[in-house]
Every structure is written in structure tokens, then in C-alpha cells.
Amino acid sequence: MEYTHLGRSGLSVSRLCLGTMNFGPETSEVDAFAIMDRAHAAGINFFDTANVYGWQKGEGITEQIIGRWFAQGGGRRERTVIATKLYGSMSDWPNDTFLSARNIRRAADASLRRLQTDVIDLYQMHHVDRSTPWEEVWEAMSVLRQQGKILYVGSSNFAGWHLAAAQEAARARGTVGLTSEQSIYNLLTRDVEREVIPACEHYGIGLIPWSPLMGGLLGGVLGKERAGRRRTAGRAREALAANREAIEAYEGFCASLGAEPANVGLAWLLHQPVVTAPIIGPRTTEQLDGALQALQIALGETELAELEKIFPGQNTAPEAYAW
């Protein structure tokens, strides 16, 4: 396993991040335990979750599963960099949502209880809160750090100007600010290249891509369709129809490399300088083992240029829309 620093911090994390959103709804607790044990055996030390995962309001099902896994001991907690998130509604009451100082404090305490740990390594804002001033957010996060309940703060789904606003507000307070940003980023969805990635590079924020395979569209969807192993529906079907020619070319290119499309998609992200670790969300240990193969794929200038032809990226702002 390869490791890198999370943004400009001194924290070392694996180049793949284990996403746990399927734990509970899609993956049983027994299977989730097996996946986490297998991840540790492979050297993955970076796990991502959120208080809303499990999708039963207020229950934090996925955090509870991870907490029971930690409780087994054997160095499971000590070897894990655990990242969780807050923002989404945890009850029908108005103050159990968003990023008020009250919710930040209460949500952190609740996550700590569910995770059965005394510290959250990376506490992430799941979405920007346009109604709460940054002074309030950073004051609440600073208190949590002083109490030893969190170590680093991250964001998710922020625009480039949100990252700048957050960092400048943190700088004014003399605090560290954001260490990481989670954004949707993959060969098909590259909007973050305009302003989010430049902001990350400027402030030393590590990028953690979610949906690295665009809901499976970059995972060999056409080959699976032809083999009768997958049928797309809804938005996935529409996205496939809009990008079928490019995906067909992509799968052909991957075949020429002798590599699975899913692994090439992950490998491409690992070749992007600002990326810390793509989030993989395996439902089985077999899927986890498959994702690990991406670490062995080296893409040279020729291969990267070919992928750029198939899936053209975004220019940075303002050149993306001006001279």
C-alpha cells in the first residue's frame, strides 16, 4: 500500500479510502466487518463515513457498525484514520441539522458515542451551510479540537469560493482551517477542475474524490450489459445514453491495456497531483480486492493523453469561460 499526507497536514493516509455508505443498507454487519478487516490487511488505514449513513434518521446505523468493529479491539481503532461527517438532518427538530455551533457540538458527541471512540480524526462538513457565519463554525470546531474530540477538519461538496471563504476566516482566527475537501470527481465529471482544484492547490487542501466511477458507468457498464450482468435505469440510463460513444471508446482503451475499466478509472484519479485518495465503496470483499488492483496500474503520458481525448477535462477559471 502507498501512503500520502492528507493535504498539507502531517497525517499519513492510504491512497485508497474505504467508503462505508453501503454498510447497513446494502452490506450486512458481518460482511462489513470482513471488508474492514480485509482493508486493514491490505494496508488501507483511511475510512470514511457520515452520521446520516444507514438512512434511518437519527440512528447513524453505519457509524454504529464501525463502532462495534472498533470495539473488537486488536488495534482496529488505533490503525484507522476515521473520517465522519455532519450536516444532514438527524431528527425532525430544527437544530439537529446544518452547521450551527449547537449542532456541531451535539453531532460530534453523538458520532463519538456511535463510533465508540474518544476522537474523530477528520471531522467533515458534508455540505456548505450558507446561513451560518464562518466565525461561528470555526469557533465550534476550535472548541472540539481543544477538547481533544477532533483532530482535523474537512469539507465536502464545497465550491472553490467556499473553500477560499472558509480558509480566510480560519486564517483570521489563527487556526489551521480545512485539511481536505470531498468532491465528486471522475473521468466523466470534472467540473471541480475549474475552481475547486485550483483552490485546493492554493491552500494545500487534499482532494478526496467520491463517486470515482460515476455510479458504475466507468466500471465496464457496456461489457456488463452485453453479458447480461447489468441493466441501467433512471439517471444512470440517461447518463449512459448521453456518453455512450465515449464510454465505448473508454472500454476499448482499457481492453487494449489489459485492465478492468474500474481500475483504470481509479488509477487515473491516483495520477492527479491534488488527489489524496479516491473513496471506494465495496459491497463485498471481492469488490475491495478488485479495487486494490488500481494501485498497480501506471499510466504514462501517452495513456493519460488518450484518456483526455476520450473524456476532455475543464479549463481552470477564468480561462474556462473568458479569454
Phi, psi values for residue 101, rounded to 5° = -60, -35
Cβ 47 vs Cβ 39: under 8 Å: yes
Cβ 247 vs Cβ 222: under 8 Å: yes
Distance separating alpha carbons of residues 158 and 183, to the nearest angstrom = 7
Q: Which of 53, 87, 203, 250 is catalytic?
A: 53
pLDDT value, residue 231: 65
pLDDT tens-digit series, residues 198-232: 999 999 999 999 999 998 999 999 988 888 776 66
Enumerate the H helices of 116-233 as residue ranges.
Answer: 134-146, 160-173, 196-203, 221-226
How far apart, in Å, are the Cα atoms of 206 and each of 7, 59, 108, 117, 307?
Answer: 4, 30, 22, 24, 23
Residue ranges of the chain whose pLDDT lies below 50: none
**What's at 295, amino acid-wise?**
L
Do β-strands 279-280 and 17-19 pair in parallel, antiparallel, or remain unpaired?
parallel
Catalytic (active site) residue 53 = yes
Phi, psi values for residue 270, rounded to 5° = -65, -20
Distance separating alpha carbons of residues 231 and 106, to the nearest angstrom = 42
pLDDT value, residue 227: 81
pLDDT tens-digit series, residues 131-151: 999 999 999 999 999 999 999
Distance separating alpha carbons of residues 109 and 311, to the nearest angstrom = 43
Phi, psi values for residue 153, rounded to 5° = -120, 135
Distance separating alpha carbons of residues 184 and 269, to the nearest angstrom = 11
Distance separating alpha carbons of residues 45 and 48, to the nearest angstrom = 10
Enumerate the H helices of the chain as residue ranges.
Answer: 29-41, 61-70, 101-115, 134-146, 160-173, 196-203, 221-226, 234-257, 261-270, 285-292, 301-310
pTM of the model: 0.95
Residue 188: other Cβ atoms inside 10 A:
21
All structural domains of the chain: 3-219+261-300 (3.20.20.100)
The three cell numbers of residue 269 are 484519479
DSSP H or E run through 18: strand 17-19
pLDDT value, residue 230: 65
